[in-house]
Amino acid sequence: MVAFEFCVVILLGYLIGAIPFGLIAVRLFRGVDVRDYGSGRTGSTNVLRTAGTKLALFTLAGDLAKGALPAVIGWVLLNDHDAATAQAAQVAGALAAVVGHNWPVYLRFRGGRGLASYVGGLGAMYWPAALGCGVVLGLGSAAVTRYMSLGAIVIVISFFVTMLALAILDLQPVAYMAYTVVGGGLILYQHRDNIQRLRAGTERRLGEAAEAREHLASPGAKE
């Protein structure tokens, strides 16, 4: 029964995470495919460059929620077992949401980078870390440097350090620390091109408008 419930949490997490809020919002209100501009991703940063602040905030809220909701579902479905099982279910659901966001079945596995869903997942497990590291450190560093990718790196590192310290002190479960490791690895993998551009000094800054992607420049070109 526990294995079945875990499978349900993981499947729901993936399907919820795969909902492309950014693509839906931009297509409805701007009439374009956000994947045809800028980074080609569906997350809030590319929506900001493509369609402006309001739709970016809507996308951010949706992506945070779809990371948090599977963690809540995991807790609700398995909290009648021991705490460790329920916590593992939270982690499984939240990680599935990140995977769904990055590789959504609805969009032929072409999604975003997963940062907001990653933050939302930890927010449902331990909100002080999500707020302190995600908003204060991560968004703070992004606001100062105007590099959202650098903010993502700060978030991943600060999440891991914080949850590792809390797990060592036995103040938070090891499962939550494991979430920051696996989820953080997925985030860094999806930001590998950004990291290369940061090192080369060619990374796009926040506030720069997105341009049409090169593969669409010629008439009739399709991905």
Break the chain into its structural domains and give their ranges: 2-209
What is the distance between the alpha carbons of residues 218 and 200, in angstroms, rounded to a whole number? 28
Tokens at 157, concatenated: 């590192």
Among residues 161, 139, 160, which one has the least CA distance to residue 150? 139
Tokens 């997490």 sit on residue: 13
Q: What is the pLDDT along the chain (223 residues), one digit of tens a residue?
A: 789 999 999 999 999 999 999 999 999 999 999 999 888 899 998 999 889 999 999 999 999 999 999 999 999 999 888 899 999 999 999 999 999 999 999 998 988 999 999 999 999 999 999 998 888 888 888 888 889 889 999 999 999 999 999 999 999 999 999 999 999 999 999 999 999 999 998 888 877 776 776 544 433 333 3
Q: CB 88: neighbour CB atoms within 10 A? A: 22
pTM: 0.90
- Longest CA pairwise span in the chain (Å): 60
Check residue 211 and give its pLDDT: 73
The number of residues making up the chain comes to 223
